[in-house]
Every structure is written in structure tokens, then in C-alpha cells.
Amino acid sequence: MSIAVINLAEKFGKIKELHSYKLVARMNDYHFKLVKMKREFIWHSHPETDEVFMIIDGNMQIALREETLYLKRGEMVVIPKGIEHKPSSSEECKILLIEPVGTINTGSAGGDLTDTEIEWI
């Protein structure tokens, strides 16, 4: 078995396009995904799992039905399973997502923004 150090800055340097999720690690049944975001996403939830958003660089907001969370570099939040949320960022934001293998980015909402082809980098 090979154990490797993962440099997030180096991995983000390999991501040329916005909104394209990339896998960088797996721990048990969890994937660690990187994404560069600059858009308003859709309302969705993940009925089967919590979801972690860790902000590596930039700022983003996550609208919930009762409030809006504002996150900046070095901050993270756990969105509990079943909670509707709508991520957005008006500037490029680099995010590390931690979620179970097979978690779909659009959750139960589906639609055109669903990303099913996730590449390892």
C-alpha cells in the first residue's frame, strides 16, 4: 500500500474549469472532493448523509431555509442530512467536500447540474 501526502494547492492548480468536482482521496467509504465554484447552485438536500464544506480559499454562502451561513477561508460547516441548502459564491471559491462515496452533488434534486463523472487528480 502506498501512502502519499496530498498538497491541496497543487491539486487545485490542476483544476482548470469551474464546477468540475475532482477526487483527491478516499478514507473508508468517504470521498474527499475538490471544486472551484463561482455560481449560485440549486436548492437540494442529501436525505441519506451529512455533507462537509471546507473553504480552502475564497468566500461562499450557504442558504438554508431559515438563515444564510457565510463561510470564508479556513472555515467549514457540516450540513446535516435532509437539510435543504443552496450554496453560492460570487467570486471563485476553492472548496473541499467530504461525503460518502457515491454522493451526488445535486442530492435529491437531480437535474442538469448533476455531475456523475468525477475524475481522480
pLDDT tens digits along 2-32: 899 999 999 999 999 999 999 999 999 999 9
The three grid cell numbers given for residue 83, joined into one nine-digit string = 437539510
Reported CATH class of domain 21-102: mainly beta
Domain ranges of the chain: 21-102
> E strands, 5-67, where?
22-27, 30-37, 51-57, 59-64
The answer to whether the Cα torsion of 121, 79, 64, 116 is positive or negative is positive
Q: What's the pLDDT at 109?
A: 84
pLDDT of 116 above 80: no
Residue 44 banded pLDDT, cuts 50, 70, 90: very high
